């Protein structure tokens, strides 16, 4: 009572804030989901490494490039300025020494190997043939050097090429000396440096990708191992454990995983042992019951009528009890993995006929297809006889009795599958599609058993069929009758081959 009311009361008061908080959380999550695609851990590690290395190489390349560039340009500028001052002093000396004129100075300089000198002497411009004219120099620079008498330098573009122009005023002789220096080599150098850096960046990024994939694989491997171990445990190999590693973080994971597995194993084993112990303990009183009931049954006619009815009930239920205990024992053997099959090569048809003969309905009709007559299978004959007996019991108890058995070679569109189908068809209500997988569960109760109504019902019979057939490398399924009439068709499929093959 209190349990069911409490949460309700707690829910009422803070409804709105919770709603609002939830809205924002949801909104944030939507945004986050939109902006960050959900990658797997491996992809994330790989991306982190690759992008990290890419960013690092871009950063380093940019620094290297700009540093190289500024150094180169500074050097070039300094050298150019020095050169210009030197050439200017040569020009000054020449102009001071005699009436050589502007052209004479230029000729002298060209003779020294100066490629692009330009002289403004007494407001006239004189340059070399290979050099540039004054129109190449921006007027601002002309003003600075000629009018304001301050040395200046500037990078200009002539015909698409970068050119450094340095201007030095020579006030003593009313002249200004300019010289042009090509920056093309620097650009070439910078281009090759850039290319090298690009290549280095590419290599670094590739290295990052490789490192990232190695790292991600290493990072994810323990997870993969854990997943595999968990799968193995789910598959029944309860003694599966993770290797404990040297890594502290991973050791925690491995240890707690192993602790969990041990606890699980202990528990499963305890449960299995309990079921096994219970059934073992039940066998002794059951022996006494079976023997005593038989003694009483031999004297049934001496008993009053009411006692006879009671005895009949006792006899029937002792038999049922005995069957149940045997089933329980068998199933606990399955759980303990203690089943050892005595496999023999048997003729399928002969075996099924014999198995029907010892079942609860020994006169059940059997049809064997021509091809199935020659099939042999490798089975534990007593265990598989139990399977047939259980299916026939099932048909007797839930399928309205009078089952029919058919043995056919398994085929798919006429292609033989190397298996045999042993089918038991009944005339009961059939099994609805949604309950077909439940029917092979242990003590399958609820809707399944209710529908199939019988006090004998829900036991371990079909669960044992499933376990036995699987242990023989086959499977069991339930479907509709082939002829369309109401009723169920239980089919066991087992590996079989033709005699002599």
Partner 1 sequence: MLHRVGTRILTVEDDERIRTAVKLALEDEGWTVDEAGSGEEAIELFHRGSPDVVLIDIMLPGIDGFELCSHLRKTSDVTIVMVTARADTHDVVAGLEAGADDYLTKPFAPKELSARIRALLRRIRPMSPGHTKLVFGDLEIIPDEGKVLRAGVELHLTKTEFRLLVELGQNPGRVFSRETLLDKVWGYDYFGDGRLVDVHVRRLRTKVEADAANPRHVVTVRGLGYRLQS
Using the contact rule CB under 8 A, the part of the chain among 5-13, 25-33, 257-265, 321-329 near partner 1 is 321-329
Cα-based angle 57, 61, 63 (whole degrees, multiple of 5): 120
Is residue 472 within 8 Å of 494, Cβ to Cβ? Answer: yes
Minimal distance, residue 468 CB to partner 1, in Å: 13
- Residue 279 backbone phi and psi in degrees, to 5: -70, -35
Q: Which is nearer to partner 1, 10 or 299 (CB)?
A: 299
Q: Which is nearer to partner 1, 287 or 307 (CB)?
A: 287
Among 157, 294, 367, 454, binds partner 1 (CB under 8 A): 294
Among 150, 256, 262, 292, binds partner 1 (CB under 8 A): 292
Among 342, 370, 413, 500, binds partner 1 (CB under 8 A): 342
Distance set, CA 102 to CA 41, 125, 132, 141, 294 (Å):
77, 8, 15, 20, 145
Minimal distance, residue 273 CB to partner 1, in Å: 15
Beta strand extents in 254-403 (DSSP E only) = 343-347, 366-368, 375-380
- Alpha carbon 199 to its chain centroid, in Å, reads 34
Using the contact rule CB under 8 A, the part of the chain among 76-84, 244-252, 304-312, 339-347 near partner 1 is 339-347
Minimal distance, residue 385 CB to partner 1, in Å: 6
Minimal distance, residue 382 CB to partner 1, in Å: 5
Q: Does 295 bind partner 1 (CB under 8 A)?
A: yes
- Residue 421 backbone phi and psi in degrees, to 5: -105, 125
Closest CA to 469 of 334, 364, 273: 334
* Site map (CB under 8 A) of partner 1, residues 297-316, x = contact: -x------------------
Minimal distance, residue 497 CB to partner 1, in Å: 15
Closest CA to 278 of 318, 328, 331, 322: 328
- Residue 425 backbone phi and psi in degrees, to 5: -105, 140
Q: Does 76 bind partner 1 (CB under 8 A)?
A: no
Among 148, 184, 256, 288, binds partner 1 (CB under 8 A): 288
- Alpha carbon 382 to its chain centroid, in Å, reads 44
Residue numbers 375-434 binding partner 1 by CB under 8 A: 381-382, 385
Q: Does 291 bind partner 1 (CB under 8 A)?
A: yes
In whole angstroms, what is the distance from residue 76 CA to residue 43 CA? 48
Is residue 273 within 8 Å of 335, Cβ to Cβ? Answer: no
Using the contact rule CB under 8 A, the part of the chain among 59-67, 135-143, 163-171, 282-290 near partner 1 is 282-290
* Site map (CB under 8 A) of partner 1, residues 25-44, x = contact: --------------------
In whole angstroms, what is the distance from residue 97 CA to residue 435 CA? 120
Minimal distance, residue 402 CB to partner 1, in Å: 24
Q: Which is nearer to partner 1, 20 or 382 (CB)?
A: 382
Q: Does 339 bind partner 1 (CB under 8 A)?
A: yes
In whole angstroms, what is the distance from residue 124 CA to residue 424 CA? 121
In whole angstroms, what is the distance from residue 377 CA to residue 349 CA? 10
Torsion of CA 206, 212, 215, 216, to 10 degrees: -140
Q: Give the count of beta carbons closer than 10 Å to the beta carbon of residue 368.
A: 19
Q: Does 287 bind partner 1 (CB under 8 A)?
A: yes
Q: How many residues bind partner 1 (CB under 8 A)?
A: 30
Q: Which is nearer to partner 1, 38 or 342 (CB)?
A: 342
Q: Does 367 bind partner 1 (CB under 8 A)?
A: no
Q: Does 437 bind partner 1 (CB under 8 A)?
A: no
Minimal distance, residue 347 CB to partner 1, in Å: 11
Q: Give the count of beta carbons closer than 10 Å to the beta carbon of residue 375.
A: 26
Minimal distance, residue 310 CB to partner 1, in Å: 18
In whole angstroms, what is the distance from residue 294 CA to residue 288 CA? 10
Q: Does 478 bind partner 1 (CB under 8 A)?
A: no
Cα-based angle 351, 354, 360 (whole degrees, multiple of 5): 130
Distance set, CA 434 to CA 259, 398, 431, 447 (Å):
38, 18, 8, 11
Among 103, 182, 245, 322, binds partner 1 (CB under 8 A): 322
Is residue 87 within 8 Å of 114, Cβ to Cβ? Answer: yes
Among 8, 306, 340, 415, binds partner 1 (CB under 8 A): 340
Binding residues (CB under 8 A) for partner 1: these are: 280, 283-292, 294-295, 298, 322, 325-326, 329, 333, 339-340, 342, 344, 351, 354, 357-358, 381-382, 385
């Amino acid at each position: 009572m209190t349990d069911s009311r409490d949460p309700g009361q707690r829910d009422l008061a803070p409804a709105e804030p919770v709603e609002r908080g939830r809205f924002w959380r949801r909104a944030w999550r939507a945004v986050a989901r939109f902006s960050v695609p959900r990658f797997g851990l491996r992809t994330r590690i790989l991306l982190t490494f690759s992008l990290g290395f890419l960013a690092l190489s871009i950063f380093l390349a940019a620094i290297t490039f700009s540093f190289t560039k500024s150094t180169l340009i500074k050097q070039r500028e300094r050298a150019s300025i020095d050169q210009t001052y030197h050439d200017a002093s040569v020009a000054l000396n020449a102009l001071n020494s005699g009436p050589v004129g502007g052209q004479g100075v230029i000729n002298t300089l060209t003779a020294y190997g100066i490629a692009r000198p330009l002289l403004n002497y007494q407001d006239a411009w004189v340059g070399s043939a290979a050099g540039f004219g004054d129109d190449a120099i921006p007027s601002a620079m002309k003003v600075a050097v000629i009018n304001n008498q301050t040395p200046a330098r500037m990078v200009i573009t002539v015909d698409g090429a970068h050119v450094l122009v340095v201007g030095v005023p020579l006030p003593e002789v009313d002249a200004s000396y300019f010289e042009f220096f090509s920056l093309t080599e620097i650009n070439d150098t910078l281009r090759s440096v850039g290319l090298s850096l690009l290549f280095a960046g590419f290599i670094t990024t590739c290295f990052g990708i490789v490192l990232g994939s190695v790292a991600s694989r290493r990072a994810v491997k323990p997870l993969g191992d854990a997943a595999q171990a968990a799968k193995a445990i789910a598959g029944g190999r309860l003694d599966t454990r993770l290797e404990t590693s040297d890594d502290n973080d991973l050791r925690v994971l491995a240890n707690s995983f192993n602790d969990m597995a041990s606890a699980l194993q202990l528990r499963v084993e305890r449960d299995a042992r309990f079921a096994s112990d219970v059934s073992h303990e039940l066998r002794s009183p059951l022996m006494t019951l079976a023997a005593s009931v038989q003694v009483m049954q031999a004297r049934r006619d001496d008993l009053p009528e009411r006692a006879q009815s009671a005895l009949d009930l006792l006899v029937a239920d002792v038999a049922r009890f005995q069957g149940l205990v045997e089933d329980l024992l068998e199933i606990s053997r399955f759980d303990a993995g203690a089943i050892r099959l005595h496999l023999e090569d048997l003729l399928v048809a002969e075996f099924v006929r014999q198995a029907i003969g010892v079942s609860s309905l020994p006169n059940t009709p059997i049809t064997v297809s021509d091809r199935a007559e020659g099939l042999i299978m490798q089975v534990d004959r007593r265990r598989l006889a139990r399977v047939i007996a259980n299916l026939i019991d099932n048909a007797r108890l839930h399928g309205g009795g009078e089952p029919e058995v058919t043995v056919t070679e398994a085929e798919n569109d006429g292609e033989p599958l190397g298996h045999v189908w042993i089918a038991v068809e009944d005339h009961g209500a059939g099994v609805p599609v949604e309950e077909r997988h439940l029917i092979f569960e242990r003590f399958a109760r609820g809707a399944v058993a209710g529908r199939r109504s019988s006090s004998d019902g829900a036991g371990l019979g079909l669960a044992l069929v499933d376990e036995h057939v699987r242990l023989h490398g086959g499977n069991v399924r339930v479907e509709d009758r082939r002829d369309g009439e109401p009723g169920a068709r239980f089919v066991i499929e087992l590996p079989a081959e033709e005699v002599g093959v």
